[in-house]
Structure 1
Amino acid sequence: MATAFHVYVINNLGDDKNLTTHCRSTETDLGTRVLEFGAAFDWEFEITIGHVAEYWCDMSWASSHGDFQVFYEPRDALRRGDQKCYWRIDRDGLYLYIKSDDDYELQFRWP
């Protein structure tokens, strides 16, 4: 049996600030995208029993750059809710929507 997940990366950096992101897992390279302010990049995948899903996104804007683990099934499957992961990318870091709190919480700061 498989469970489907949907991940969203949303540029919330502000006007005239593009976000460049390259997301991938060990099996899938989702390519490089340039997101204008307010734009989103999203993808779906399925997790089967006995397989651990993990996705990383290399992100940059202006002089900020980092490689972030945006999905790791043992850590994230339950805290996301409805199998949807919303990442809001802000100037101070990456925020994840936590369904139980009905709010975004800072997860990663820009290095």
Structure 2
Amino acid sequence: MKSFQFNLPIIFLLLTTYSCSLVQSIQFRLKITNELTNTLETHCTLKGVDIGVFPIQPGGMNGYSVNYDNPRQSTIATCALDSGKLHGKFVMFDNIRDSQRCGNNRCEWYVKNDGLYLDIQGKQVFQFRWN
């Protein structure tokens, strides 16, 4: 009985290590295309980390790649977008909302004068208005 009590912490450690290794990291790509006539300033946060401000020229795009290992984690990416008089802060990837509609773990956004569109099965579908 003593040897079992001695080995119990080791068994527990092995089981928790094994169960943690079963959690698979998922990678997704976020792409933002500027379809405005002015430069678009993007200020994004991925998994709570501020990645800075990046300008996207008219007709240009910027892409981000991020891994997450918690399928229950909801908001993964938010971006503040500014272009002239157009402003807004948007949730660009929410695992619960977007895991099914962003095919192949890719969310492709198109920024236009009336708002933001998401590519859903090859079609640009309106999602957000500017603030």
Identity %: 29
Q: CA deviation at 1:27?
A: 3.0
Which residue is equivalent to 2:12?
Answer: none
Which residue is equivalent to 2:125?
Answer: 105
Q: Which amino acid aligns with 1:44?
A: S
More helix per residue: 1 or 2? 2
Q: Within 2, Cα distance between the matches of 1:50 and 1:36?
A: 34
Q: Secondary structure at the match of 1:82?
A: helix
Which residue is equivalent to 2:61?
Answer: 40
Q: Within 1, Cα distance between the matches of 2:43 and 2:25?
A: 25
Q: Within 1, Cα distance between the matches of 2:45 and 2:101?
A: 21
1:60 aligns with 2:85: no
| Greater relative CO (CA pairs within 8 A, separation 6+) | 1
Q: Which amino acid aligns with 1:107?
A: Q
Alignment of structure 1 residues 19-38 onto 2, 5 Å: 19-38=40-59
Candidates 83, 97, 104, aligned match of 1:82: 104
Q: Which runs of 4+ in 1 moved over 4 A?
A: none
More strand per residue: 1 or 2? 1
Which residue is equivalent to 2:4?
Answer: none
Q: Which amino acid aligns with 1:78?
A: Q
Q: Within 2, Cα distance between the matches of 1:4 and 1:35?
A: 23
Deviations, residues 11-32 of structure 1 (Å, cap 9, x unaligned): 0013xx1101100034321110
Taking structure 1 as the reference length, what is the TM-score of the superposition? 0.89
Q: Within 1, Cα distance between the matches of 2:39 and 2:95?
A: 29
Q: CA deviation at 1:106?
A: 0.6
Q: Secondary structure at the match of 2:104?
A: coil
Q: CA deviation at 1:7?
A: 0.3
Taking structure 2 as the reference length, what is the TM-score of the superposition? 0.76
Which range moves more in the overlay, 51-60 or 88-97? 51-60
Task: Count matched residues.
Answer: 107
Q: Which runs of 5+ in 2 are unaligned?
A: 1-23
Q: Within 2, Cα distance between the matches of 1:39 and 1:63?
A: 19
